[in-house]
Amino acid sequence: MNLQHLKYFLAVAREESFSRAARELHVTQPTVSSGVADLERALGVRLFNRGNRHVGLTMEGRTLANYGMQIQDLVESTEDRLRRRDVLPGEGFQFGAIDAAVTYLLPDILKAYMRDFPNVALSVQVAPSRYLVDDLLLNRSEFAVISLPFAHPKLETVSIHRDSMPLVAGASHPFSRRSSVGLEEVAEEPLILFHADSVSRKIVDERFAESGVSPGVVMEMRSPEAMRKLVEAGVGISFLPHLTVQDSLTSGALVTVNVQGVRFGREIGVAWRQGRYFGPAIRRLLDAVFERFGTPADGMHDDPHDV
């Protein structure tokens, strides 16, 4: 159903005249007549009984007039709400984030956002970067906070935080009493590492490969918190993001160990699908993230006419 034709129909029904409806809408009478005729053909019914001096609704016309006014009210209400950029209770969006981002980078930002925009329902998907990227590509998430680098032709990324990945050991581990160790010595120890499909693991594997060293016993995990606890318990050693272990380092449960000639680190950034438009509710959260970390949101769409 053409909404413009419906508008013509309702005006004729209200004025009981094609000419008066045309004057009210500031269009020509043939435009109104043609629009109503197109509507009748589309619906397969006669909407008006046309006389020389009078235009009256048919039974079908009265039915359409009743529903048509409701439709028009709903359209006007929708247009008004979108112009005012309101969010109704229960409406919201999903974004993704790696565990470290949710735990250490975003809590204060999310707290302030939910205080300022209590009607927005946020859904946060916490997972490794690879799976968060899948959600972006499938349009299930608006954006994601992931480990970088992560290159994909359909994605854009911007870094917001540089995080070192020191070698950490439990306070009772022999390495804790050493000023530094060689990568060959590290490879001989039980290593607790991220799964092979994670960005952080790829960074570690690349450093070992560049040095021509292959680690021995490796336990693979996805949870940095679980890895931290196992290192504290002396099960093994690990290269863990500083964000994840900073409390344990402060308490003395873990110590960092310098690895001769090698530095491990990653960046955390925001990723989104190229060309994606972000409405006001989403953009305000993104702006809060960028304001906190001092990174501009260059290239992001915030103008609906710029998509």
* Fold assignment, 3-84: Arc Repressor Mutant, subunit A (1.10.10)
CA distance linking residue 45 with residue 58, whole number of Å: 9
Main-chain dihedrals φ then ψ at residue 114, nearest 5 degrees = -70, -30
Residue 86 pLDDT class (50, 70, 90 cuts): low
**Per mean pLDDT, which range of 166-180, 187-201, 243-257, 292-306 is the poorest?**
292-306
Q: What is the per-residue burial (b if ≥16 Cβ within 10 Å, else e) of 190-220?
A: ebbbbeeebbbbbbbeebbeebebebeeeee
Asked whether the predicted pLDDT for residue 304 surpasses 50, the reply is: no
Residue 199 reports pLDDT greater than 70: yes
Mean pLDDT for the stretch of residues 51-76: 87
Domain ranges within the chain, ordered by starting residue: 3-84, 92-143+275-306, 166-263
Residue 257 in contact with residue 166, Cβ under 8 Å? yes
Which pLDDT does position 89 carry in this prediction?
A: 56
| pLDDT number for residue 74 | 85
pLDDT at 6: 92
Match domain 166-263 to its CATH number in 3.40.50.300, 2.60.120.280, 3.40.190.150, 3.40.190.10: 3.40.190.10
Quick check: 301 pLDDT over 70? no
Tell me the mean pLDDT in the region 146-170. 91
Top-confidence range, 87-91, 103-107, 292-296: 103-107
Q: What average pLDDT does the structure give for the chain?
A: 88
Full DSSP string of 270-289:
EEEETT-B--HHHHHHHHHH
Binned at pLDDT 50, 70 and 90, residue 306 comes out as very low
Q: What is the pLDDT of residue 119?
A: 82
**Mean pLDDT (whole number) for 215-223:** 85
Q: Is the pLDDT of residue 38 over 80?
A: yes
What topology does CATH give the domain 92-143+275-306?
D-Maltodextrin-Binding Protein; domain 2 (3.40.190)
Query: What is the mean predicted confidence (pLDDT) over 7-28?
Result: 92
Q: Give the model's confidence band at 87: pLDDT under 50 very low, under 70 low, under 90 confident, else very high.
A: low
Encode pLDDT of 97-133 as tens digits: 998 899 999 999 999 999 988 888 889 999 989 999 9
Report CA torsion sign: 133, 139, 144, 149: positive
> Taking residues 162-170, what's their average pLDDT?
93
Question: What are the φ and ψ backbone dihedral angles of 231, each rounded to 5 degrees?
Answer: -65, -40
Q: Do domains 92-143+275-306 and 166-263 have the same CATH topology?
A: yes
pLDDT of residue 84: 59
Residue 307 is predicted with a pLDDT of 35
